[in-house]
Structure 1
Amino acid sequence: MVKESTVDVILHPVRMRIIQSLINQQMTAQQLKELLPDIPQASMYRHLKKLVEAGVIHIIEEIPNRGTIEKVYSLQDPANATISVEKLSSFTKDEHMNLFFRFMANIMGEYERYLNEDNIDLVRDGVSFRQTSLFLDDTEFAQFIKELSEIYTRVTQNKPEKGRRRRTVATIIIPDRKHEEQ
């Protein structure tokens, strides 16, 4: 059997949802199953096992429960759930396209799950997608990325609690082709 690369482990749509669910919290398989009810129990356990074997998530506690051991999972180091700059730099054009396609497929899956819910209200729920062009020199772009990163860092520290709703936010930055100085 061929071992999956860490990139393949991370980018699987179900495993990506599990990883995102474990950001800033620790959960058992049962808690994950309640949060992600569309994932069959057997699949949940199979994907958790792959994530643990790849070192993406960790078992931080084992609790005896009615004759079995209930494991508590954690994403202890979010860097383990990302693709390194070195790895990205080594990808071919086709590998980058495959990576981008899988990223988009994950986003489409999230949106489809939302649309399949009862009583959705796009305005109330804050659904939005847009595209715009920004004209920034390298210094302005660096400042934009710094400020955006600061906002992301601040809000990704929020833990789930009453009144908070999980929202998926995706950012894609695609530069225009290089132009000669005007």
Structure 2
Amino acid sequence: MASLDLLLHPVRLRILRALLDGHPATTGQLRERMPDIPPATMYRHVAALTEAGVLEVLGERRVRGTVERTYRVRWDRAEIDPAARAAMTPDDHRRAFTAFVGGLLADFDHYLDTETADPVADGVTYQQAALWLTDDETAELLAELRAAITARMGREPGPGRVRRIASLVTMPVDP
């Protein structure tokens, strides 16, 4: 499992977000998705994620005298260890949540800046619901949502398929 500092670095967080759909990518493909990141910076952060075991190398091939590696995320290693999560301070949680929300805002801004953005036709939704649940009912709901999302991950691009990001936040409101 990864450390909070490893995962919350802005560039590494963007790399992981680019690989959310479960499809492997080369560093070159990641650079195409994030052209604002200098090549040396991209390679350094991909190496850090690989060294930590968060990214795994699926294959290598020679391209113009260099080795091109294909990476994918090991989601079991891309989470904060439960013991480390339990030891997080309120400021650590604030920092993690800020990074999460910042990523959402960046994704939404990028989407809205495209010429073809049509939130209604594209099924964009953002909403909140208040539920009265016990801890066991909350765990059950989260397991159901995780199963529903996991069942749809890894699908291949194809006609009519649009890469979409689903995000979820749950928290008690009146502890």
Q: TM-score, normalised by structure 2?
A: 0.85
1:43 correspondence with 2:41: yes
Once the two structures are superposed, residues 97-144 of structure 1 have per-residue CA deviations (whole angstroms, 9 ceiling, x without a partner) of: 111111111111111111222231111122111112112234433332
Task: Return the offset for 1:54.
Answer: 2.2
Change (3 A) 1:136 1:36: same
Q: Which residue of 1 aligns with 2:64?
A: 66
Partner of 1:156: 153
Which of 53, 56, 66 pairs up with 2:54?
56
Counterpart CA distance in 2 for 1:159 and 1:120 is 22
2:41 equivalent to 1:78: no
Q: CA deviation at 1:170?
A: 1.1
Q: In the alignment, residue 86 of structure 1 is paired with which amino acid?
A: A
Superposed, 1:64-143 pairs within 5 Å as: 64-75=62-73, 77-143=74-140
Counterpart secondary structure, 2:151: helix
Q: Which structure has more helix as a fraction of its residues?
A: 1
Structure 1 unaligned residues grouped into runs of 5+: none
Cα distance in 1 for residues equivalent to 2:10 and 2:158: 25
- Secondary structure of the 1:124 match is coil
- TM-score for the superposition, normalised by structure 1: 0.82
State how far apart, in whole Å, the 2-side matches of 1:26 and 1:56 are.
Answer: 13
Structure 2, unpaired ranges of 5+: none
* Equivalent residue number for residue 28 of structure 1: 26
Which residue of the other structure, out of 169, 176, 182, is the alignment partner of 2:166? Answer: 169
Structure 1: how far apart are the matches of 2:71 and 2:139? 36
Question: Would you say how many aligned residue pairs link Structure 1 and Structure 2?
Answer: 173
The structure with the larger Rg is 1
